[in-house]
Structure 1
Amino acid sequence: MQPTREEAYALLLKYNKSPALINHALAVEGTMRHFAALLGEDEEKWGVVGLIHDIDYEKYPDEHCVKAVEILKENNIDEDIIRAVVSHGYGLCADVKPEHIMEKVLYTIDELTGLINAAAIMRPSKSVMDLEYKSLIKKYKSKGFAQGVNREVIENGAEMLSMDLKYIIEETINAMRKIADSIGLGGVAVE
């Protein structure tokens, strides 16, 4: 079955308590919905995939994308959703190569949302609302910034999608702006 957004969110919360991981899931969900709309795809399905993509990460970090299969099968989640979830770990912790457009977008924007989040919280405003491509690309190119973000995955994903990296970054920023308050990136008053 394809869970509703509410069912997917409840499942996420069953396995994840960390506010950072929950905010990341919400950021990926919002970005997946945004790209689905741009590409004329199923926003609900893409959003659900984004929401549960790291379902196993908090409890089973050493079995990431492996335990997810077990958890999602136990909850009768559709095989194509399970495949999409697993494929985001391609080359890192999974052998399932992203093939469907939904899988390729998830693979690409998972790391990218993390980089954008890190860049936004470093700003005086603590917001994604005033973060621009030019500023982000400087951080992107800095090896010392957000070292845990795998830039190679983002670049490989852009190549899989046959999309310009600048376009993907700009649209991911736009997506995160739409949900800024719900992911803690709405900003603070700067005096």
Structure 2
Amino acid sequence: MNRDQALAIVTTYVKSPNLINHMLAVEAAMRFYARKLGEDEERWAVTGLLHDFDWEIHPTLEEHPQAGAPILRQHNVPEDIIEAVLSHADHAGVPRVTSMQKALAACDEITGLITAVALVRPSHSLYDLTAASVKKKWKDRAFAAGANREEIVRGAQEFNVELWEHVDHVILAMRQIAPQLGLEGSLSAPGDMP
């Protein structure tokens, strides 16, 4: 399964630009961690890209992501990717045992919080966003209330990364695709970006 095949699945089942952006952000974070850990970047990235592909057609916890697994199998998605997708949702009952599964759970919720913080900044940009800015908003439970802070903490712990270091890593990963995410805002990319 390559990225083009995964993206074709996503665009078949997802119409919401915000949901697609969320999956692109998780893909970027997964790619970052695969590179950092010496894992298969393409496989980890595809897993991040596919993880919520069925949310629009299965928008309840009773269905998502469990009802999406047979669809992924019909598209010949490898079983380890399907298992990771299933494991990212605690309610699905699939234990997270591999690094890829743990990374996906750690990267999922935090991307939403980072996006929300970037959008309320004067710049509307990831380029000047820091973990310290996210930490300030973290304390306000009414802010980005849909971002489950307990899941974010548990995900970082399971993945064995300190929370604010993790936030920093995910911000760096998301900066790489800031224009695609609509999060470059009023700033241009720093000169030191690859």
- Give the alignment's TM-score, normalised by structure 1: 0.94
Structure 2 residue matching 1:185: 3-state secondary structure? coil
**Residues 1-191 of structure 1 mapped to structure 2, 5 A cutoff:** 3-62=1-60, 63-90=63-90, 93-188=91-186
Distance 2:186 2:15 in 1: 24
Distance 1:80 1:141 in 2: 36
Distance 1:161 1:5 in 2: 24
Distance 1:49 1:143 in 2: 29
> Unmatched 5+ residue regions in structure 1?
none
After superposing on structure 2, the runs of 4+ consecutive aligned residues of structure 1 that deviate more than 2 Å are none
Structure 1 residue 13, shift from structure 2 partner: 0.4
Structure 1 residue 188, shift from structure 2 partner: 2.7
Q: Which residue identity is paired with 1:29?
A: E
Percent identical: 48
Aligned residues: 185
Q: Which residue identity is paired with 1:82?
A: I
> Unmatched 5+ residue regions in structure 2?
188-194
Distance 2:160 2:130 in 1: 23
Q: Which segment is superposed worse, 133-142 or 111-120?
A: 133-142
Distance 2:80 2:2 in 1: 15
Structure 1 residue 140, shift from structure 2 partner: 1.4
Distance 1:182 1:143 in 2: 28
Contact 2:88 2:101 in 1 (8 A): yes
Structure 1 residue matching 2:92: 3-state secondary structure? coil
CA RMSD of aligned residues (A): 1.0
Contact 2:58 2:65 in 1 (8 A): no
Distance 1:139 1:108 in 2: 19
Structure 1 residue 94, shift from structure 2 partner: 1.0
Distance 2:139 2:73 in 1: 39
Structure 2 residue matching 1:186: 3-state secondary structure? coil
